[in-house]
Structure formats: structure tokens, C-alpha cells
Chain A
Amino acid sequence: DARVTQTPRHKVTEMGQEVTMRCQPILGHNTVFWYRQTMMQGLELLAYFRNRAPLDDSGMPKDRFSAEMPDATLATLKIQPSEPRDSAVYFCASGLVRSPLSYEQYFGPGTRLTVT
């Protein structure tokens, strides 16, 4: 049963520290997405990749967030420096574009980040 995996599942850090979240997409998927979920804002798209190339990161605060795909099996989201307002659950999702009519995303379990 193929799944998206994310590490760590929980992270507590102090303001100003660097945070790195990792995602392993489903093998063979060619799109990867990073989302942030909070009670106030709901689900927000931060960035996404197709075939490892970044296509859209307009949802990310550029001064502190960065997203990369060093290879097809790993996507990373970094926050440096972290701030209390970054506290949220961060989801990674992957998908395979087979055709315009056959496309869906599979979500990982999320990383719950708390910045104190």
C-alpha cells in the first residue's frame, strides 16, 4: 500500500531556530505539493513541484521559507528562522498526472510544528 511519508511527525522548537521537514512522495508520482493547515486559515498551498522542478511557490513567505526536491524520492521544506506564527500542521501530497481527467493527490500524515 503506497503512501506518502513525512518526518518528523511532531516538532517543537524555539523561535529563531531552523526547521526542516521531509517528505517521501509515492514512488512514480511526478507532482509534489506542500500545504499548511491552521484553524484560522484552513488549508493553504505553499509550493508545488512537477518532475522535481518548482512551478509555484507564491504561497510561501520567501524570506524565511524554502522548498526543494533534491531527488525524486525526497522533498524538503525549510523554515529559517522560525517564528511562533509558523505553528501549524504541514502536509505534503503527491500525485501522478496521467491525463487531464485522471488526477488526484495523496496526502501524507503531516508534521505538526510548534514554535515557542
Chain B
Amino acid sequence: GDSVTQMEGPVTLSEEAFLTINCTYTATGYPSLFWYVQYPGEGLQLLLKATKADDKGSNKGFEATYRKETTSFHLEKGSVQVSDSAVYFCALSDRGRDDKIIFGKGTRLHILP
């Protein structure tokens, strides 16, 4: 079945460092890809998405490019802030099959001032 694999955390970086969180997926169809973020004590929020190959999703300085050839959707940010500390979930939706969104296990990010 469809699945998402993302790098295990926690990831600890200093403020203004470059961030990459790796994500790869397995899907039988042509999925849409997402990154969700969960701040402490809150529900998940959509951070960005991409619906077709080579699309780049971006929001709040974060970017991810849909790479069909490598089945990847890595999350990047050029300069992280303390406020970016959260758990990040990579996810996919194979809308042609059903309405479910398949989530990865999440990567906890700590940013040190």
C-alpha cells in the first residue's frame, strides 16, 4: 500500500541554520504531496503542498519540490527561526483511490537561539 517515510528526529539546529527534512513516498497512483506542521499543544496545519511532478510548494520560507523520479518531497528552509520548532509531517493523498491522507511518523525539530 501507499506509504511515507521521513527522517527520524529529533533534529536540532541553531537559529539561521539551513534545514532539510527528507521524505520519500511509495504510491501506486499519482499522489498529491503535503507537509503538515504541528506546534506544541495544537493540531496539524497544512504547511505546503504539491499536486504534480516538478511542482514546488512554498510557504513561510519553507519549500519542497515534488520529485517523481526519486519519489521524494524533501522540506527545506534557508534560515530557521526558534519559532519553527515543531513536529513536521510529510503526507500523501492518492485521491484517485480514496479520501485518506497517509502521514509519515513526523520529525521533531528543535531550533536553539
A-side interface residues toward B, CB under 8 Å?
Answer: 4, 31, 33, 42-43, 45, 48, 50, 55-56, 91, 93, 95, 97, 99-110
Contact between B49 and A104 (Cβ–Cβ < 8 Å)? Answer: yes
CB within 8 A of A108: which of B43, B46, B101? B43
CB within 8 A of B99: which of A31, A108, A109? A31
- Are A91 and B44 CB-contacts (below 8 A) given A43-B103, A48-B99, A104-B49? yes
Contact between A48 and B95 (Cβ–Cβ < 8 Å)? Answer: no
Residue of B nearest to A44 (CB): B103
Main secondary structure of the interface of A (DSSP, over half): strand
Contact between B106 and A43 (Cβ–Cβ < 8 Å)? Answer: yes
CB within 8 A of A100: which of B34, B36, B46, B96? B96
- Does B105 count as interface, using CB distance less than 8 angstroms? yes
- Does B100 count as interface, using CB distance less than 8 angstroms? yes
CB within 8 A of A101: which of B32, B36, B99? B32
Contact between B95 and A101 (Cβ–Cβ < 8 Å)? Answer: yes
Contact between A103 and B99 (Cβ–Cβ < 8 Å)? Answer: yes
Name 21 interchain pairs, CB-CB below 8 A, sorted by A: A42-B103, A43-B44, A43-B89, A43-B103, A50-B99, A55-B99, A56-B100, A93-B43, A93-B44, A97-B99, A100-B95, A100-B96, A101-B52, A104-B34, A104-B46, A104-B49, A106-B46, A107-B44, A107-B45, A109-B43, A110-B43
Residues of A with C-beta under 8 A to B93: 103-104
- Does B5 count as interface, using CB distance less than 8 angstroms? no
Q: Give chain A nearest CB distance to B36 CB in angstroms.
A: 8
Residues of A with C-beta under 8 A to B105: 42-43
Contact between A91 and B34 (Cβ–Cβ < 8 Å)? Answer: no
7 A-B pairs with the lowest CB-CB distances in the bound complex, closest first:
A107-B43, A100-B95, A101-B51, A107-B44, A42-B105, A31-B99, A43-B103
- Does B69 count as interface, using CB distance less than 8 angstroms? no
Q: Give chain B nearest CB distance to A35 CB in angstroms.
A: 8
| Binary A-proximity of B83-113 (CB < 8 A = 1, otherwise 0) | 0000001000101101111010110000000
